[in-house]
């Protein structure tokens, strides 16, 4: 089974860029949204699945010093750019927060709807950005694999990773996310980025 261990942590940035369509673009969009909404530099920002802390670092450098990460992998936290700002947890921290990102993380969470509900319950208002790998048709999966191959990922590694992810990553359709976000109480739900089954949702509380 796939693990976010030291080996993955050592190559995480390359792994993310080669396997996640629009990886940097989505992170840039998150910063742009915070600026466009004119969020105060005093707000709490949380990045769920903060990995090595690159998004946390981007927000701190964008004048959001109260940016924190949530990460369940000790190996990721050990290499994080901001270890002191990362909560090691499988659940969302109890804290008031106005801007939350969960980019390419919740598809690894079994109790996904509850996690989204916990995010909503802790938000005092503001924006939630959710990016997920969703279910893919055969044709879209082929396009996605071509994207990875174009990035230098071998067909052997693609097959091996797909096998390792079985039972670890559960993919849901786009409709499930829209319905779930609606059910927990989010408003103004919109898809703001989508490529090869990787979909980014914008919503407000």
**Angstrom distance (rounded) from CA 92 to CA 44:** 14
**Angstrom distance (rounded) from CA 119 to CA 3:** 24
Residue 106 backbone class (left: φ over 0; alpha: ψ -120 to 50; beta: rest): alpha
Q: Which CATH number fits domain 6-204: 1.10.3470.10, 3.90.105.10, 3.40.50.300, 3.40.50.150?
A: 3.40.50.150
Residue spans per domain, the chain: 6-204
pLDDT of residue 165: 79
Residues of the chain with pLDDT under 70: 1-5, 8
Residue 70 host element (H or E): strand 67-71
**Angstrom distance (rounded) from CA 68 to CA 181:** 23
- Tell me the whole-structure pTM to 2 decimals: 0.93
pLDDT digits (tens, 9 = 90+) for 7-51: 767 777 888 899 999 999 999 999 999 999 889 999 999 999 999
């Amino acid at each position: 089974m796939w693990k976010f261990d030291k080996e993955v942590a050592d190559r995480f940035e390359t792994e993310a860029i080669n396997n996640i369509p629009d990886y940097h673009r989505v992170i840039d969009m998150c910063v742009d949204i915070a600026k466009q909404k004119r969020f105060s530099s005093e707000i709490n920002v949380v990045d769920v699945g903060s990995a090595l802390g690159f998004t946390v670092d981007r927000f701190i450098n964008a004048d959001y010093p109260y940016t924190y990460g949530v990460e369940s992998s000790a190996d990721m936290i050990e290499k994080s750019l901001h270890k002191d700002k990362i909560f090691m947890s499988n659940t969302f921290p109890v804290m008031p927060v106005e801007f939350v990102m969960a980019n390419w993380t919740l598809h690894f969470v079994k109790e996904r709807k509850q996690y989204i509900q916990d995010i909503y319950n802790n938000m005092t208002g503001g924006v939630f950005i959710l990016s997920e790998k969703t279910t893919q048709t055969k044709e879209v999966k082929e396009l996605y694999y071509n994207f990875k191959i174009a990035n230098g990922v071998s067909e052997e590694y693609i097959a091996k990773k797909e096998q390792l992810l079985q039972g670890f990553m559960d993919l849901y359709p786009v409709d499930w996310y829209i319905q779930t976000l609606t059910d927990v109480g989010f408003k103004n739900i919109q898809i703001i980025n989508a490529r090869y089954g990787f979909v980014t949702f914008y919503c407000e509380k």
